[in-house]
Amino acid sequence: MPKIFKLLPWFVAASAAWSIGFVYNVYSGGGELSSLRAMYFHKVVLAAEIKAPQRLIIMGGSGAHHSINSEIIEQKLGIPVMNMGLDGPVGLNVILPTILESVRPGDIVLLIPEDLILLDEDGLLERSAPFGLATGRPGLGGVPPKELTQAAWMLGVPSLRSITKSTIELLETGKITGYYSDPITKRGDPEEAKYRKGKWWQWSIRQPISPHAISRITQFRQEVEAKGATLVLSLPWVYAKTDAQTVGNMKNIVENLGKIAPLVYDKTSYNLKTDSRLFADTHHHLIPEARKIRSRQLAQQLKPVLTDLGLLKAKTER
């Protein structure tokens, strides 16, 4: 018997094992990627259901997803709001084209990029390739072939930690969940908050904005405008130090982002917060009450900018 036929059962077994692992990682809801994928497609459906001629589409990483109360902003501005925030480690190169697909003519696109996204040198982070694969767009964002191949292979290899967590959840609750499995509102906001169990420490912004981030966001403005929409930028709230290095780098970020598109932020604090009680489980995720405060402030900052752009003129005259 040829040697290849002797190895065939092993190939079949390995393929079957990889397929089971792929289904677990991408479709079961048992890991961060699968729950993130499900949340993204859910938000796409919710966004499509908004039939108004003008929408405010909020996008960014988890710092956008976990920091907004869309209902409050919608009430203050008088236009439908959709929170399309995803996950920072998906990377700028993948987040931008992913959400661009949902943008329609007349939309206002509000990008709230965390420093993780702004300081990255090539726009690709650890979930860039896996997210593209999981959503059926392999290589999205210019992921190199080698990295894409490695990511595809690893999608079929669930971690022992993940399997153990899922097994315990299945036995105790009868279901498997991931970080992004929590229910969301019809406007894409998380209905629940996770809270930090360990001690807090203040974040530092150690670098200025990367040249790649400047270039890619500039390109994104052109892509948004080509769809007949308008790009506006905002700084996120972050629990951070207010030392000279952090403030200096925030000034650099503000200066460069402000050259790309209208930028809204607290000009006194640069949105750097020193009260950890406002934050949930990370330095960029807010507790529900802080989301309300943040959203009222954000709406107040946006209103004059959008009015000057002629995007709220009809609303303010009524």
What confidence tens digit (pLDDT) does each residue in 6-24 have? Answer: 656 655 555 555 556 666 6
* 124 or 317, which is more confident: 124
Poorest-pLDDT segment among 60-74, 117-131, 302-316? 302-316
Number of neighbours of residue 251 by Cβ within 10 angstroms: 12
In the predicted model, is pLDDT for residue 29 greater than 60? no
In degrees and rounded to multiples of 5, residue 303 shows phi and psi of -55, -50
pLDDT band for position 235 (50/70/90)? Answer: very high
Residue 73 has pLDDT above 50, yes or no: yes
One-letter amino acid at 151 equals A
The residues pairing with 264 across neighbouring beta strands, listed in sequence order, are 234
CB 50 within 8 A of CB 191: no
DSSP letters for 218-266: HHHHHHHHHTT-EEEEEPPPEEB--SHHHHHHHHHHHHHHHHHS-EE--
Rounded distance between C-alpha atoms, residue 127 and residue 21, angstroms: 17
The rounded Cα 95 to chain-centroid distance in angstroms is 7
Rg value, the chain, Cα: 21
What is the structure's pLDDT at 165? Answer: 64
Mean pLDDT for all residues in the chain: 90
Q: What is the pLDDT of residue 87?
A: 97
Asked whether the predicted pLDDT for residue 270 surpasses 60, the reply is yes
**Could you tell me what percent of the chain has a pLDDT over 90?**
79
Q: Which two tokens stand for residue 169?
A: 């959840």
- Lowest-pLDDT range, 161-165, 181-185, 236-240, 309-313? 161-165
pTM: 0.91
Within 8 A by CB and 6+ apart from 39, the residues are 86, 180, 181, 184
Q: Quick one: pLDDT at residue 175? A: 73
Mean pLDDT across 205-216:
98
Return the exposure string of 12-34: e unless at least 16 CB atoms fall within 10 Å of the residue's CB, then b: eeeeeeeeebbebbbebbbbbbb
What was the pLDDT predicted at 167?
62
The structural domains of the chain, ordered by start, are 14-317 (3.40.50.1110)
What's the average model confidence in pLDDT over 222-233? 98
Residue written as token pair 């998380």: 190
313 — pLDDT class (breaks 50, 70, 90): low
Instruction: Write the CA distances from 183 to 134, 192, 230, integer angstroms.
Output: 20, 7, 29
State residue 318's pLDDT score: 36
Give me the percent of the chain exceeding a pLDDT of 70.
84
Distance (Å, whole) CA 145 – CA 4: 28
Decide which of 129 and 26 is more confident.
129
Given this model, what pLDDT does residue 314 score? 47
Q: Is 30 within 8 Å of 178 (Cβ atoms)? A: yes
- Element spanning 273, H or E: strand 272-273
pLDDT of 305 strictly over 50: yes
Residues 89-143: tens digit of each pLDDT: 999 999 999 999 999 999 999 999 999 999 999 999 999 999 999 999 999 999 9
